[in-house]
Amino acid sequence: MLESFVNNKLIQKKNMLIQSNLYPFFRAISDTVGSKVYVKNQKQIMIGSNNYLGLTHHPYVKEKAIKAIEQFGTGCTGSRFLNGNLEMHEELEEKLAKFIGHKSALIFSTGMQANLGAISCIAGPRDCIISDLENHASIIDGTRLAYGTVFKYKHSNMNCLEEVLQNVKDKYQRKIIITDGVFSMTGTIANLTKIVELAKKYGALVYVDDAHGLGVLGHQGKGTINHFSVTSDVHINMGTFSKSFASIGGFISGSKEVIDFIKHSARSFIFSASMPPAAVATVAACIDIVTSDPSVLANLWSNVNFMRHGYKEIGLYTYNSETPIIPIYVGDDLKALQVSSYLTEKGIFSTPVIAPAVKEGDALIRTSYMATHEKEDLAKVLEVFSEAKKLFELPSIYN
């Protein structure tokens, strides 16, 4: 019986990649120093992290996390419903709601749990969910748990979205449009202005997963809904703490009525242990920094613009990304793995993305940048990519 796991095609492919020295996953990092990491004693420039603001090593953030451990210990050992609800959890929720511009917020132990819990309970059997085809896996899994009927629209295609809305307008009690704010593979931004317009026209609710927009877009990093000035028109906003906010966890924000319903209905919230004190304190400290020190976001965008211009000069296709996520189109899966291996040899930690994470033939190297990257290191990254373009004949345009 166990042979069925050993002989699984996925495992066989994994074993083949390991034997060919092309397996790029589960690399054990032994140390991190700013925007550099150590893997097998080799120092590498990290361009595969979601640590956009570079706050994981910030002295103020570390100090707050240490103080939280000293006061509350390392964990809460229970659900917030029962024994795991600390004052600092509620204080962070108030702080997040004020930061985002919503009336209320609810924090979860992970971003995945936030989407699973919220989506699964807001769509009942008489409701429908309308989801972008390239939404994050946590949204997809959340829709699978929901009782509502699920429809998908072509990625960022507003004509297709309106078509779906037109078809379902009189058939369901509640219609919920769900989209990523920033799409994690390509770095493209959802057209929230048009989505909100269509939601109003057809009486739908709007749910935005802003995992990669929070801390990056909008005034003081308040996210994609702030970037488009549609905060009051987005009914539910979701964000994670494992990216810009240097921790682990997630949250949902919206009206008091919606958040109170999710708080008393979401199984992934009710039946999970609460966020540990150090993680909560870290998020609160990150919000303090991003709202008081404009140089952090300024450094981030300076680095992003430097790399965007550099890749354009080299002639690489980057999906016209407008965010710190800058994907390098490769096309072939094997070639993407070979390029990633080459980058590793040159001291650069990158992330190859292959099918089924992207469509067959759309393999890419997902690069992302931090406020703490030094221009000297970024110049080296561009130099190595310039070499890789010639060596592996990387395409200049998306086919």
Overall average pLDDT of the 295-320 stretch: 97
- Residue 17, both tokens: 């990649």
Q: Is the pLDDT of residue 318 over 80?
A: yes
Residue 367: Cβ within 10 Å count: 24
Q: How far is CA 276 from CA 90, 236, 248, 379, 388, in A?
A: 13, 24, 9, 39, 43
pLDDT of residue 399: 58
Active site members: 184, 212, 243
- Residue 158, both tokens: 């507003």
Residue 337: Cβ within 10 Å count: 21
Question: CA nearest 105: which of 260, 265, 221, 276?
Answer: 260
Between residues 355 and 221, which one has the greater pLDDT? 221
* Choices 3.40.640.10, 3.40.30.10, 3.40.50.720, 3.40.250.10: CATH for 59-292: 3.40.640.10
Q: Is the pLDDT of residue 2 over 80?
A: no
Tens-place pLDDT, residues 133-178: 999 999 999 999 999 999 999 999 999 999 999 999 999 999 999 9
Distance, in Å, from the CA atom of 385 to the CA atom of 399, rounded to the nearest integer, reads 20
Task: For domain 28-55+294-392, give the CATH number.
Answer: 3.90.1150.10
Question: Could you tell me if residue 229 is left (phi over 0), alpha (psi between -120 and 50 degrees) or otherwise beta?
Answer: left
Q: Is the pLDDT of residue 36 over 90?
A: yes
Place of tokens 């369901």: 172
Distance, in Å, from the CA atom of 221 to the CA atom of 355, rounded to the nearest integer, reads 32
Residue 239: strand, helix, or coil: strand
Q: Can you give the residue ranges of every domain in the chain?
A: 28-55+294-392, 59-292
Tens-place pLDDT, residues 90-119: 999 999 999 999 999 999 999 999 999 999
Q: Is the pLDDT of residue 256 over 70?
A: yes
To which H or E segment does residue 176 belong?
strand 175-180
Distance, in Å, from the CA atom of 65 to the CA atom of 117, rounded to the nearest integer, reads 27
Q: Decide if 368 contacts 324 (C-beta within 8 A).
A: yes
